[in-house]
Amino acid sequence: MCGIFGYTGQRTAAPILLEGLRTLEYRGYDSAGIFVPGHTPIKAVGPIDNLANKITGPISGTTGIAHTRWATHGSPTEANAHPHLDMSGTIAVAHNGIIENFRELKDGLVTQGIEFTSETDSEVLAKLIGTQYRGDLLKAVQAALSLVRGTYGIIVTSNHHPNEIVTARLGSPIVIGVAKDGNLISSDSSALLSYTKDVVYLEDGECAVVSKEAYEVFNLRGDKLSRKTEKIEIEASAVQKKGYEHFMLKEIMEIPEVIRDTVRGRLLADKGQVKLGGIESVMQDLLKKDRLVIVGCGSAYFAGQVGQLMLEEYAGVPVDVELGSEYRYKRNLADKNTAVLAVSQSGETADTLASVRAGKEKGLMTLGIVNAVGSTIARETDAGVYNHAGPEIAVASTKAFISQLVVLTLLTVALGREKEMTAEAGQKILRGLIELPDIIKEYLTDTSDIKKIAKKYAEYQNCMFIGRKYHAPIASEASLKLKEVTYTHSDAYAAGELKHGSIAMLDKNFPVIAIAPEDDVYEKMVSNIEEVKARQAPVLAITTAGETHLDTLVDNVLYVPKVHSVLQPIVSVIPFQLLSYYIGVEKGLNVDRPRNLAKSVTVE
């Protein structure tokens, strides 16, 4: 969750550390801090600007580490902010992850006379490394980590070694950037783009010593490993706002291009076929599986639910969808005729990754749909598909969610054409995909109607979303967006479930947002809307262009373009993304960085 950043090179470190933290701020913004050997740590609560304002003069030194925090153990305070120091005050540590046995370790250190100044589990690492230090920082880190249970991505530097940084990972990402004027370390490759595209991804159980001129990678036993650099494909401009007020709006407006990038080189539209190079090597084995289990968390989970309906209806593939945070504990993993498909924007989602590993331990085929090239899930699965959605900086997923739906559509056609889907059916879907970017681009040219409605619905404290079939999961995704970005209490239900309990909540102050495109469940949705109106609840309906009945039935209507039914969820979710965005802005909230949240959930 947290962001960590380090630099050692020929330039003054402090400005580079601050800039790195600004790029990583979406990973956590409860507090931040930097440490340059020879100086005391500088820390501040809140955003990076607060930290920058505390740096009133130049800080000499060409090596340093930095951290932006999403609080797990201990509230957001300066005392709990990283980097933390060892007892001598000479070794500094920035940590991303959770140390599960920190209480046991802390009790042991206290009996040795070690004093603690924070509530965090991370300070234990700093103090523990300090007790192991005998003149070799790498060995001290290795010895300390051998006593640790939990997850970590750490960077460590010291006044005794002012020109080097030691880093290590287990369950939390670490990437080393190799630049001309020095080397860098980060928890996310996007933070390195301004300096280099040459990177080395550490694997779990690996550590490294990074100096101005070189890097050396080891395992925790001290054996040296040979690791070559890889290239980051994205451009630095991809993590900039490009004139938009917020990243969230920019990323919604990028959806047409994201769809083009997601399908580029993958469509054989005239044949109604799809070419997914990332799974070609396992396709024949995949076709022999009896069941596919899609695993995800948050928005990725809801994308998986839409994918389930696609795959079952159009490809005849039995599918289960599981929360990553629960699937890892299930006892039914031993069926070798099941494949596990992990969906994760970051490719680092801790619970989803744990589910992949649980599946692998049972000998199951594992697949991934991830956006981040080189991420852990991408490396550890047997095969998979990259989204190619580009970096997503806003915490609330928008364009990445759309790309996940597109990839699941491609997978549906790829598997369907090998099973029961006709060429004609495949052609219709793929031609619809080809047309989709231009349709959405035209739709996004005027969002004034959504902005106007947002002013009205920003006044409500509660809200309910309903939908059927493909749009039942979209209702859940829309509800999640509203909660994330606006802090409005929101629920979502399959519309047919209203009368089984949730309709009791409704009154004139509890609006319902109904997703009712003209499809094969449209009439059922209209009946559900009638039930809602009978309880005096305000209704906002989202339906397809050309529908005329709802305008006389509900309080407000938003229209979206009508497309192929399997593609309709991709279009239908966009007004909800914009509605949440505009309500958040209307409320004066930071829509890119909602409270209590971080972009990449790398703790369990």
User: What distance in Å separates the CA atoms of residue 483 and residue 219, rounded to the nearest whole number?
Assistant: 42
59: phi then psi, degrees, rounded to nearest 5? -115, 110
8 A C-beta contact, residue 81 and residue 20: no
Does residue 83 have a cis peptide bond before it, meaning omega lies within 30 degrees of 0? Answer: yes
The residues, any chain, with a CB within 8 Å of residue 213's CB and separated by 6 or more, are 183
User: What distance in Å separates the CA atoms of residue 570 and residue 256, rounded to the nearest whole number?
Assistant: 11
User: What distance in Å separates the CA atoms of residue 119 and residue 108, rounded to the nearest whole number?
Assistant: 16
DSSP readout, 461-530? SEEEEEE-TTHHHHHHHHHHHHHHHH--EEEEEEGGGGGGTGGGG-STTS-EEEE--SSTTHHHHHHHHH
8 A C-beta contact, residue 217 and residue 224: yes
Measured CA distances, 44 to 120, 126, 501, 599 (Å): 16, 19, 47, 21
- The DSSP letter of residue 61 is -
**425 CB-contact burial (10 Å; exposed 0-12 / middle 13-18 / buried 19+):** middle
8 A C-beta contact, residue 196 and residue 155: no
360: phi then psi, degrees, rounded to nearest 5? -65, -40
pLDDT for 313 equals 94
C-alpha R_g of the chain = 25
pLDDT for 95 equals 93
From 79, 203, 94, 189, select the one nearest 141 (Cα to Cα).
94
Measured CA distances, 91 to 37, 345, 474 (Å): 8, 35, 49
Q: Three-class SS string for 136-176?
A: CHHHHHHHHHCCCCEEEEEEEEECCEEEEEEEEEEECCCEE
DSSP H helices in 98-254: 102-111, 122-132, 137-145, 247-253
The residues, any chain, with a CB within 8 Å of residue 56's CB and separated by 6 or more, are none
Which residues are known catalytic residues? 2, 599
User: What distance in Å separates the CA atoms of residue 77 and residue 423, rounded to the nearest whole number?
Assistant: 60
User: What distance in Å separates the CA atoms of residue 319 and residue 339, rounded to the nearest whole number?
Assistant: 10
Strand duo 338-344 + 365-370: pairing: parallel
- The DSSP letter of residue 113 is T
User: What distance in Å separates the CA atoms of residue 540 and residue 561, rounded to the nearest whole number?
Assistant: 17
pLDDT for 221 equals 87
From 355, 222, 232, 234, select the one nearest 293 (Cα to Cα).
355
DSSP H helices in 278-375: 283-287, 299-310, 324-327, 350-361
Domains and CATH numbers, the chain: 3-235 (3.60.20.10), 247-443 (3.40.50.10490), 448-586 (3.40.50.10490)
Distant-in-sequence contacts of 246-249, Cβ < 8 A, 24+ apart: 246/394, 246/581, 246/585, 246/591, 246/592, 247/26, 247/393, 247/394, 247/592, 248/394, 248/396, 248/398, 248/485, 248/577, 248/581, 248/591, 248/592, 249/581
**What is the residue-averaged pLDDT of the chain?**
92
40: phi then psi, degrees, rounded to nearest 5? -80, 150
pLDDT for 239 equals 62
pLDDT in tens, 59-93: 999 999 999 987 776 788 888 999 999 999 999 99
Give me 441's structure tokens.
Answer: 């681009």
19: phi then psi, degrees, rounded to nearest 5? -65, -40
Low-confidence ranges of the chain (pLDDT < 70): 1, 26-28, 73, 234-240, 332-334, 598-604
Which stretch of DSSP H or E encloses residue 377?
A: helix 376-380
From 157, 197, 158, 156, select the one nearest 175 (Cα to Cα).
197
pLDDT for 1 equals 58
8 A C-beta contact, residue 395 and residue 580: no
8 A C-beta contact, residue 207 and residue 141: yes
User: What distance in Å separates the CA atoms of residue 137 and residue 115, rounded to the nearest whole number?
Assistant: 21
